[in-house]
């Protein structure tokens, strides 16, 4: 009986097929020889500066390859999808995300402190709106298909005995979920709940109630994706009224919305996204 490849293998294989079609040189781990090969139109100055200012090692350090060189990189996925719009009319993105107020600026890999010191959360995409509200995106590619205890783990500094950090920030629903993680009394397995909570804490700390966090994830149809979708629904239900600050969408759903609102001038960009990320994966 033929064994179905894992979701991560499906993603990696489909990306390798795309790279082979483009005659790109990649190593045994699926990394391009340079970041430019992995980014639509090459990595320009603005996103390069964003990544250099971030806390990750997207561009590499000490002569080591950068994470963004991986074909399966969620940062590369976000860069390919969103940096195209920097300096362009952002109305199509506002429409695709069904945000009533137009986006006005866009940046990648932005750092936001939680008020606790140390390294704060880094958000993959950060959009500001004309009314001073913000729309932040956490990009997920292969991550939902990898198990990790860190997805439901919060360091002790997030759960001090004397106060609730999320409650203090106006997020009592998030506080309840955080405390459930602390005691192990939860049913999350796949969703990176800890990361979402930290992002929401940082956004509330910096922008009070004028923010939205979107979990934008790549769906490989199957039981794991179904579980991820259900856990997103459960998370929204458990945080209660604070779900007004949270949304979730798949890249495929976003693409369907975008093709309805983009113009003819965007056809090359749309063709790139369709061929690389949206078309059916080819598995040998």
CA distance linking residue 228 with residue 75, whole number of Å? 20
Residue 1's pLDDT is what? 53
Residue 61's pLDDT is what? 79
Torsion of CA 266, 10, 125, 207, to 10 degrees: 140
The full length of the chain comes to 284
Residue 64's pLDDT is what? 85
Helix, strand, coil proportions of the chain in percent (round to 5)?
Answer: 50, 15, 35
Residue 63's pLDDT is what? 75
Count of Cβ atoms closer than 10 Å to residue 43 Cβ: 23
Q: Which of 87, 91, 39 is nearest to 258 (CA)?
A: 91
Residue 38's pLDDT is what? 97
pLDDT in tens, the chain (284 residues): 556 789 999 999 999 999 999 999 999 999 999 999 999 999 999 999 999 887 767 888 777 899 999 999 999 999 999 999 999 999 999 999 999 999 999 999 998 888 787 777 899 999 999 999 999 999 999 999 998 999 999 999 999 877 799 999 999 999 999 999 999 999 999 999 999 999 999 999 999 889 999 999 999 999 999 999 999 999 999 999 999 999 999 999 999 999 999 999 999 999 999 999 998 543 33
SS3 123: strand
DSSP states along 192-259: -HHHHHHHHHHHHHHHTT-EEEEEEE---TTHHHHHHHHHHHHHHHHTGGGGGGEEEEEHHHHHHHHH
Q: Which residue(s) pair with 129 in the sheet?
A: 103
* Strands, E assignment, the chain: 103-111, 122-129, 134-140, 211-217, 246-250
Residue 2's pLDDT is what? 59
CA distance linking residue 75 with residue 89, whole number of Å? 22
């Amino acid at each position: 009986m033929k064994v179905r490849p894992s979701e991560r293998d499906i993603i990696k294989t489909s990306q390798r097929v795309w790279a082979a079609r483009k005659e790109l040189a990649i190593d045994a781990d699926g990394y391009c020889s340079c970041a430019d090969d992995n980014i639509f139109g090459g990595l320009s100055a603005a996103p390069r500066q964003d990544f250099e200012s971030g806390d990750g090692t997207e561009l590499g350090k000490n002569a080591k390859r950068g994470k963004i060189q991986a074909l399966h990189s969620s940062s590369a996925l976000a860069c390919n999808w969103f940096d195209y719009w920097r300096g362009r009319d952002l109305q199509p993105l506002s429409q695709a995300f069904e945000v009533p107020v137009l986006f006005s600026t866009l940046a990648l890999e932005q750092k936001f402190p939680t008020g606790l010191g140390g390294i704060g959360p880094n958000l993959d995409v950060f959009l500001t709106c004309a009314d001073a509200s913000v729309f932040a995106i956490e990009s997920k590619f292969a991550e939902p298909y990898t198990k990790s205890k860190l997805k439901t783990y919060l360091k002790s500094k997030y759960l001090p005995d004397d106060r609730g950090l999320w409650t203090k920030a106006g997020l009592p629903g998030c506080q309840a979920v955080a405390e459930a993680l602390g005691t192990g009394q939860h049913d999350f397995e796949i969703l990176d709940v800890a990361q979402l909570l930290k992002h929401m804490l940082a956004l509330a700390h910096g922008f009070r109630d004028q923010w939205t966090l979107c979990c934008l994830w790549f769906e490989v149809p199957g039981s794991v994706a179904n579980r991820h979708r259900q856990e997103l629904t459960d998370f929204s239900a458990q945080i209660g009224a604070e779900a007004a600050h949270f949304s979730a969408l798949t890249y495929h759903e976003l693409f369907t919305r975008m093709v309805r609102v983009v113009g003819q001038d965007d056809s090359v960009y749309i063709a790139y996204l369709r061929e690389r990320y949206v078309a059916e994966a080819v598995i040998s």
